[in-house]
Structure 1
Amino acid sequence: MVNSQLSDVVEYRVRSHINIYDSPKCDRLATQASQGRHLRVVDPPQPPLMKGGRNGIDSVVQSDTNAVMVRLCEDDYPGWLDLRDIDLLEVTETVYHPLVLSEFQIREKLPVAITFAREAMNQSNYYLWGGTVGPNYDCSGLMQAAFVAAGIWLPRDAYQQEAFTKPISIGAVEPGNLVFFGTPEKATHVGLCLGDRRYIHSSGQAQGRNGIAIDVLSEDGDEVSQFYYHQLRGYGKVVASYQSGNRE
């Protein structure tokens, strides 16, 4: 294990699944980092206060906070790490480098993403805002995890995934494409197309599911199907694996 002071000039590997929060209060989940993911510390505050930790890692924090801001390397997602989870980090010997995939390679891998989502549905699960680590996911977290299983990285949130994909018409939709829902201004929900207007997604209890399910895009379906049908924004084709625009 590599010993180091927690710093913004090195990269860390997650030794076990951890939660990443949307504020230094650490009371609302933003995303999760599965074992093996990489992260960097963002702008350690000055002047620093050193708090000793196990594994040779010290935390660089302000005296009035119990969290440090980080950015996950694979999708650039920012958030706050609870200092109680510092022990779950280790300095990486090699930094993260994104895998470059062609559109053809991605298309060949899509059955893996579909299989992952179906198997996740067959496990006991519930909708978890910010969830990207099984068995509990939010909508875009399920998409990200399914594509990672196929070796393909997507951005984290539904609106980011929509912007990242290539828009396609309904007549061109194939299994493995993404379907987006929301308001006219922004995508707020995403699912994975299975064919025959069916899609698999993780939706909240307020929408009638509270977990992963397969629904049909139809105004004649059940209450959940109708709810999302009327929020349909469009479809997207994954043609690349995400690469950071800020990578050195």
Structure 2
Amino acid sequence: MPALTHWHITADLDLFDSPACDRLATQAAAGRQLQILEQQDQAWLVRLAEDDYPGWIPISDRQHLQPASTVYQPSQHDRTAIEAAIPNAIAFAQAAAAQPNTYLWGGCLGPNYDCSGLVQAAFAAQGIWLPRDAWQQEQFCEPLPNWEAAEPGDLIFFGRPDRCTHVALYLGDRAYLHSSGREIGRNGIGIDWLDPSADAVSDRYWQQLRGAGRITRSYQSGSDRFSTWLPS
């Protein structure tokens, strides 16, 4: 198959972090586009069009790809458009929380999500694309001076001093909704609090709080591309 040609995805796909295709990196819904960059063994290295995210798919997934009739062009959304979409983005995340689910590293299609996959999916459902990973979302957002300045629909970031490793969707009144893992979280989607006295999970994440950010625009694939292990 020609490299860098745009392909239309006709069925939901799992993307993996190596040619072995044994560790989930992310997922792509039917209707998205990708480019094939290279082949190794029985896998293709691809890049998703909407968020520039890389991953490997088995060549057997060829049956779920068709040449794209038109090349994906990112839509532009300013802060006004994003503010109008926030209630629906929050409603999407709340509906996801109401379904039986567990935390899934790389999950962004549901019912099982990882933290940044849930945030990305909530806004993508409104036509607003964000970067895929938590650290990318932190860099993409406009930083707020402190978490107290956060409003519903802003993002709350957690992690180590040197890197963001977790993201949540702020609901207001200290509450945030996120998909957290089994080790220190809830093994799925739930509400926790920017209050270390609220419960054990809230306390553990409070210890990792990095700050908050505001989504002021939609991701523009290509021009906004983050440095990754992908060839440029």
In which range does the TM-score fall when normalised by the shorter chain?
over 0.9
Aligned with 1:92 (options 62, 65, 68): 68
Shift of residue 71, structure 1, vs aligned partner:
0.2
**Superposition pairs for residues 97-108 of structure 1, below 5 Å?**
97-108=73-84
Gaps of 5+ in 1: 1-5, 45-60
Indicate the structure (1 or 2) with the bigger Cα radius of gyration: 1
**Which has the larger displacement, 212-221 or 230-239?**
212-221
Q: Is 1:238 paired with 2:215?
A: yes
Amino acid at match of 2:13: I
Amino acid at match of 1:245: G
Partner of 1:39: 34
Secondary structure at 1:207's aligned position in 2?
Answer: coil
Secondary structure at 1:171's aligned position in 2?
Answer: helix
Alpha-carbon distance in structure 1 between the residues aligned to 2:143 and 2:173:
19
Shift of residue 245, structure 1, vs aligned partner:
3.0
Deviations 1:113-159 (A, max 9, x none): 10000000001111000001110100000000001011110000000
Amino acid at match of 2:221: S
Aligned with 2:11 (options 13, 16, 19): 16
Q: Is 1:158 paired with 2:134?
A: yes
Alpha-carbon distance in structure 2 between the residues aligned to 1:186 and 1:150:
28
Alpha-carbon distance in structure 1 between the residues aligned to 2:61 and 2:216:
35
Alpha-carbon distance in structure 2 between the residues aligned to 1:198 and 1:82:
40
Does the 8 Å contact 2:147/2:156 carry over to 1?
A: no
What count of residue pairs does the alignment treat as equivalent?
Answer: 223
Shift of residue 246, structure 1, vs aligned partner:
4.8
Shift of residue 207, structure 1, vs aligned partner:
1.6
**Superposition pairs for residues 54-203 of structure 1, below 5 Å?**
61-62=39-40, 65-168=41-144, 169-203=146-180
Alpha-carbon distance in structure 2 between the residues aligned to 1:83 and 1:196:
48
Alpha-carbon distance in structure 1 between the residues aligned to 2:86 and 2:69:
31
TM-score scaled to structure 2, two decimals? Answer: 0.93
Partner of 1:212: 189
For the aligned residue pairs, the C-alpha RMSD in angstroms reads 1.2
Amino acid at match of 1:26: C
Runs of 4+ displaced beyond 4 Å: none
**Which has the larger displacement, 158-167 or 202-211?**
202-211
Secondary structure at 2:170's aligned position in 1?
Answer: strand
Alpha-carbon distance in structure 2 between the residues aligned to 1:227 and 1:10:
45
Amino acid at match of 1:36: G
Gaps of 5+ in 2: 225-232
Secondary structure at 1:12's aligned position in 2?
Answer: strand
Shift of residue 93, structure 1, vs aligned partner:
0.3
